[in-house]
Amino acid sequence: MRIEQACPLPLLHIADATAVSIQAQGFRSIGLLGTKYTMEQDFYTGRLREFGLDVRIPNEAERAIVHRIIYGELCQGKVLAESRQQYRDVIRSLVEAGAEAVILGCTEIGLLIQPADSPVPIFDTTAIHAQAAVNFCCN
């Protein structure tokens, strides 16, 4: 928020673009996967909640798994089948907790999880943010 206030240039916040995309498809209860910081701190979840979304995050043990795989594997170029299964299990837990769709809130998660890996729609923030930038530049 402070960056937006201090900068005279338009800022395309990734969480805003994601929230607009989610709302356009009619979802309200959304699961969030990302780094520990993304899942636990308010800079992302709070922004989604400002759009009226009910944000659900994995439990503490699942958050540790998601975070570890991002930094310990995906950022190192490792895409492992067992990690894909762990993410599928976390997604299933989010769905059981009421998530109607799931946000892939970290660039690298798209290397591991595809739409076929989830029983609900996924929102890849990398693609959403890029599309928002294209739309902004073309309009």
pLDDT tens figures, 81-117: 999 999 999 999 999 999 999 999 999 999 999 999 9
Residue 13 pLDDT: 76
Written as six digits, the tokens of 39 are 């899942």
Q: What confidence score (pLDDT) does residue 2 get?
A: 65
**Amino acid (one-letter) located at 46:** G
Q: Does pLDDT of 135 surpass 70? A: yes
| Predicted local distance difference test score (pLDDT) of residue 27 | 98
Q: How many domains does the chain have?
A: 1
Strand 122-124 with 54-56, pairing: unpaired
In a domain, 6, yes or no: no
Is 7 part of any domain? no
pLDDT tier, 133 (very low <50, low <70, confident <90, very high otherwise): confident
What's the predicted TM-score (pTM) here?
A: 0.90
CATH of the domain at 95: 3.40.50.1860
- Residue (of 50, 53, 52) closest to 32 by Cα position: 53
What separation in angstroms does the CA of 96 have from each of 21, 38, 40, 120, 139? Answer: 23, 21, 20, 11, 40
Residue 81 included in any domain = yes
Could you tell me if residue 27 is inside a domain? Answer: yes
pLDDT level of residue 63 (50, 70, 90 thresholds): very high
Provide the domain limits for residue 91: 14-131
Residue 1 lies in a domain: no
Specify if 2 maps to a domain. Answer: no
Confirm whether 88 is domain-assigned: yes
19 within some domain: yes
Does residue 60 sit in helix, strand or coil? helix
pLDDT tens per residue, range 15-60: 999 999 999 999 999 999 999 999 999 989 999 999 999 999 999 9
Q: What is the DSSP letter of 54?
A: E
Whether 51 contacts 18, CB under 8 Å: no
